Structure 1
Amino acid sequence: MKRSLRAQLAADPSVGTGNVLATVIALGADLDGPGLTFDTAVDHFPAEHPLTLGELDDRVQARTAWLHVHGIGRRDVVAIWATDAADIVLSFLALTRVGAIPALLNGKMAPAIASEYIRRLRVNGILADSTHRELLAGESDQPGSLHGAPILGTPKELGAGDSAKAPVHYRHHRDDPVVITHTSGTTGVPKAVLHTHTTLYAALKHLLTMPQAQGTDRILNALPIPHTATILMVNQVLGNRADMLLLSSQDAPVVLAAIERWKPRGVYGFAVTWAGLAREDLSRYAVGSVRMWFNTGDCAHEPHIRKLVAAGAREVVTREGRLMVPGSHFVDGLGSSEMGHNGFHVTHTPDSTHYGRCIGKPYQFASAAVLDAEGNELPDGTPGMLGFKSPSVSPGYWNDSVNTYRFRLNGWFLTGDLAYREAGGHFFHLDRVPDAVAGFDGPQLYTSLSEERILAALPEVLDCTVIVVPEGDGFVTDVLLELKPGVDAELEAEVRAAVGEEVAATIRRVSVVGAEGVPVTVTGKVRKVALRQDRLAEATP
């Protein structure tokens, strides 16, 4: 019996991040089947036209031909700075076809930071939409270039290429670099994360051998488009022959409107999007199509998850057969650009009780441990640094061997997180290393865990941020609360009770802020470094 397409993709060692689209077609997938759907126009196709597999391939081939005519080929690093999902994804697919290395930049990045990031990449060329091209012009000493690299054109211009004249698809070796994405930049200029043909496909090969989860046949992609996670999703849906609408904005109102309009069964996003959706009364919206929410990046907060799983529906198996019941799934975990895929997973439903920043267990293709400063594995229940091993892990940071090796210890990749493991094998996330005060002696001050406890205990709080600042020989803690509309209450006593005695003893102030009162990165992560610097500046005479 002929193996399924998914089985063939999983078994073929030549398949990887750089050639999934072409391989799916070569294996006989229906050209009239699903390709990708974008929220903006693609060449002569209107916004939200569901591109067939054949139409998608033709539009990528047109861009491949354009790049070839403009001299872009093997090992050329090309930066893409744009906002529209179609501009980024189609450019990525075309660049990998000629063997180039696309470097994806978030459209929200500040121009000065984008300029410095591009300089560090040492790119061969730049693709920028009209808005970002103007921003680059303000950073450039010479018209039409930046740091000596030519601005080749806008991503939309690539669609004018002649698809019939596209060159032969570059044949990737398993170790070929295929994409550079970047970290969130919480501490300044983001780090450039490299992935190869095989690292960014290793997790997908495993998933292709597993039954498809419910909700993955029609996906709304609310992940940041230039992020590693979106590249993963593009290749996942092409291999699964599923439908996916890619959104250029991850703002909650945009996502909510798309759910009502497009009726997805799965929604993929970051924690910031779930926090935004949780601000709404979801019972007032048509979100019943959703069976599964999938979170990656930072793990999500319990109150946000509970609001989401109360919406939608899911299929369960009973003695009476398969039934649809109210309430959806929420798949949580912990991931990063460097990890190449969520490293952990835990599934929540309306009946879940395993919260407290539980990120679950590692996927079968990965392993994890809690480490001390020398890289020794710590016993269950002891907090330490989170180490991760997986074929999906990035080989390093582009042009940055210092940080590449700084985050390796005793054979483990250090994720930058503090965690502990319980006896049953589940891992619990405590904080990011730079945001905590934690050691084997002295105070144990975890900002993320404190935020979790406040949100779980105080229903009046929509969101909160906790930071720890050095003061004299010790530390003080500041708590910023965003309250529900109409709430005007003094909550300091409740906050102190929620965080526990050790943190409560360090609290200096509890402040109420608006939704815009906390600085965030381009992917929505709170810039706690900036907040700490502000607090330190206030204390300086």
Structure 2
Amino acid sequence: MRSIDYFDKGVERAGDRPAFIEGDMSMTFKELQAETYRFAAAMAADGAAYQSTVALYAPNHWSVLIALLGLWRFGAKWVPVNARNSVDTNIQFLNYVRCERLFYHSSMTEEVEEMLANIPSFTTAVCLDKPNGDHPSLEQFMKRGEGVDWQEKCDAFGNLDEIVGLFATGGTTGPSKGVNVTNLGWGTMLSTASCYWDVPDIEPVCLVTAPMTHAAGPVTVATMSIGATQVILPGFDAGKVLEAIEKHKVTHIYLPPTALYILMDHPDLNKYDLSSLKIFLLVGSPVAPEKLRQAVEIFGPCMCQCYGQVESPMITTWLDPATVARAAAGDHPERLASCGRATPHVRVGIMDDDGNLLPPGERGEIVSRGPLVSHSYFEKPEATEEVRTFGWHHTGDVAYRDEEGFFYIVDRKKDMIVTGGFNVYSAEVEACILELPQILECAVIGIPHEKWGEAVTAICVLAEGESISEEDVIAHCKTRLGGVKAPKKVEFWTELPKTPANKLDKKTIRQKFWGDSDRNVG
């Protein structure tokens, strides 16, 4: 089906229930559905073409739902813009995909001005929450569609090849790649997730506190398909999350492990009634097994997690609440370190470098195959072919599978760091640091961090006779890459270990920080 069809199923199921609540603002599912038609008609009146590219750049805000669902109603491609990236990074990606339209929140005005000055492909800019200079508000934009005779473009199969999104991957040695996500892949994800998350005999309520431009977006759309009301918070605040769970009787919530740890450490945790929770989903990075065990004690048998990436989104594997609860109680406690079993519509295997699928217990790269796998990289056929070697999608993550089919991630084949649920590729940070003339060599790795899972850390060798402070290195990276990718720590060594091929020996570097740990991820 089309992505918008999943929302329409939610309307059929819960038409008169609130689709979202944000402060004093709310709409029923039927009211929100009507707004998506208005948005689509306005896109037609504005001259937008089918499969045009539309960027959404905003914090969590109810208007994002209208724009997102409306652009899917029209048949456009969603380009989520990460507000935590540097402006340069976002400009680079939006130019690469030749984005045509920008819908943004007024809090992003300064960044948007710089974007508009440097992205010639933009034809339209709309401020979601209010008129802003020459830019109309979302309501003003939608009035353009009044009286327009617009018809949905759909076929009996649900437009399976239609692209619903151009999603950025983390860059390695160059700009991020754009992942072409089709209705087939996105729909497979939504239908799989909604089956797992559909709890009988409740009125579902999903708390949205993580960024909609990241994993919270798919969680939002998937839970709306089962009629879940979205309670929207502008960002993560542990106290406000606890208040919202009790006030709205929240049944579903997604958080990265870093936010879970903060929530568990809140001094008023025991003052709130959290018994309504049925699905507490952890995505983005591995969770510490002991923390997960403690979370079951605090929140009850609702804890669960899944594994995926942009190219094989979110629910490639699934670790269900019952399995987590049993493991926390001592039945196969090792499964607290697992990311679960393969989901029904995707094959998942462990592969060596020669393309051989490995038996249980042996470590290799996680590979996947099936309709969940995304279509391709935008205008990068060689990169697409490379990641599909041997007829499987290659994730770059190293893991093993046990005899019962549970997968355990132990390392990352690609030099990727997962910090606070966001992906950071070390080569991009290394290239930025090496722009500084004082630095001769550097290696960037992730080291264990209680809050972020992994903290971006740079190990640098100074050029002869040069000096620079840790603070100056970090400040340079924040300016060039943004706060997420910038190192949290910089160490200066006299030399970096090398392999026999004279490459940086990151395994040896990591050992100082990770020791003999079985898992080289947080």
- Report the TM-score when normalising by structure 2: 0.72
Residue-pair matches, total: 439
Looking at structure 1, the residues matched to 147 and 7 of structure 2 have their Cα atoms a distance apart, in angstroms, of: 18
Q: Quote the offset at 1:263 in angstroms.
A: 2.3
User: Does 2:131 correspond to 1:147?
Assistant: no
The 4+ residue runs of structure 1 with deviation greater than 6 A are 467-470, 475-478, 517-520
> Given the alignment, which residue of 65, 74, 82 partners 2:58?
82
Looking at structure 2, the residues matched to 378 and 88 of structure 1 have their Cα atoms a distance apart, in angstroms, of: 44
Q: Deviations over 1:235-254 (max 9, x none)?
A: 43333223222333235444
> Given the alignment, which residue of 83, 88, 105 partners 1:129?
105
Q: Is the 8 A contact 1:38 1:85 kept in 2?
A: no
> Given the alignment, which residue of 224, 228, 231 partners 2:211?
224
Question: Which residue does 1:53 correspond to in 2?
Answer: 29
Q: Deviations over 1:145-193 (max 9, x none)?
A: x234234221342223247546222326210111222335687754322
Looking at structure 2, the residues matched to 70 and 108 of structure 1 have their Cα atoms a distance apart, in angstroms, of: 30
AA matched with 1:351: A
Q: Deviations over 1:463-482 (max 9, x none)?
A: xx9x9999xxxx99995655
> Given the alignment, which residue of 375, 379, 397 partners 2:377?
397
User: Does 2:298 correspond to 1:311?
Assistant: yes
Q: Secondary structure at the match of 1:36?
A: strand
Q: Secondary structure at the match of 1:201?
A: helix
Structure 1 residues 210 and 103: CA distance shift in structure 2, 3 A: closer
Structure 1 residues 104 and 328: CA distance shift in structure 2, 3 A: same
User: Does 2:156 correspond to 1:170?
Assistant: no
AA matched with 1:373: D
Q: Deviations over 1:276-304 (max 9, x none)?
A: 22332432433232233112232322233
Looking at structure 2, the residues matched to 278 and 302 of structure 1 have their Cα atoms a distance apart, in angstroms, of: 14
Question: Which residue does 2:466 correspond to in 1?
Answer: none
Question: Which residue does 1:258 correspond to in 2?
Answer: 244
Q: Secondary structure at the match of 2:224?
A: helix
AA matched with 2:159: H
Structure 1 residues 389 and 480: CA distance shift in structure 2, 3 A: closer
Looking at structure 2, the residues matched to 364 and 233 of structure 1 have their Cα atoms a distance apart, in angstroms, of: 18
Looking at structure 1, the residues matched to 5 and 97 of structure 2 have their Cα atoms a distance apart, in angstroms, of: 24
Structure 1: any 5+ residue segments left out of the alignment?
Answer: 1-14, 41-45, 313-326, 437-446, 452-464, 484-516
Q: Quote the offset at 1:122 in angstroms.
A: 0.8
Q: Is the 8 A contact 1:380 1:423 kept in 2?
A: yes
Identity of aligned residues (%): 20
Q: Secondary structure at the match of 1:108?
A: coil
Looking at structure 2, the residues matched to 392 and 82 of structure 1 have their Cα atoms a distance apart, in angstroms, of: 27
Q: Deviations over 1:353-400 (max 9, x none)?
A: 234621121112221111111221122212111111231111122233
Structure 1 residues 241 and 481: CA distance shift in structure 2, 3 A: closer
Looking at structure 2, the residues matched to 286 and 208 of structure 1 have their Cα atoms a distance apart, in angstroms, of: 26
Question: Which residue does 1:506 correspond to in 2?
Answer: none
Higher RCO (CA-CA < 8 Å; seq separation 6+): 2
Q: Is the 8 A contact 2:179 2:311 kept in 1?
A: yes
Q: Secondary structure at the match of 1:132?
A: helix
Q: Quote the offset at 1:200 in angstroms.
A: 0.5
Question: Which residue does 2:507 correspond to in 1?
Answer: none
Structure 1 residues 102 and 482: CA distance shift in structure 2, 3 A: closer
Q: Quote the offset at 1:218 in angstroms.
A: 2.0
Question: Which residue does 1:378 correspond to in 2?
Answer: 358
Q: Is the 8 A contact 2:208 2:220 kept in 1?
A: no
Question: Which residue does 2:274 correspond to in 1?
Answer: 287
Q: Is the 8 A contact 2:239 2:266 kept in 1?
A: no
Question: Which residue does 1:298 correspond to in 2?
Answer: 285
User: Does 2:89 correspond to 1:113?
Assistant: yes
Structure 1 residues 30 and 122: CA distance shift in structure 2, 3 A: same
Deviates more, 1:283-292 or 1:259-268: 283-292
Structure 1 residues 16 and 216: CA distance shift in structure 2, 3 A: farther
Structure 2: any 5+ residue segments left out of the alignment?
Answer: 130-136, 431-442, 452-473, 497-522
Q: Secondary structure at the match of 1:342?
A: strand
- Report the TM-score when normalising by structure 1: 0.70
Looking at structure 2, the residues matched to 285 and 525 of structure 1 have their Cα atoms a distance apart, in angstroms, of: 33
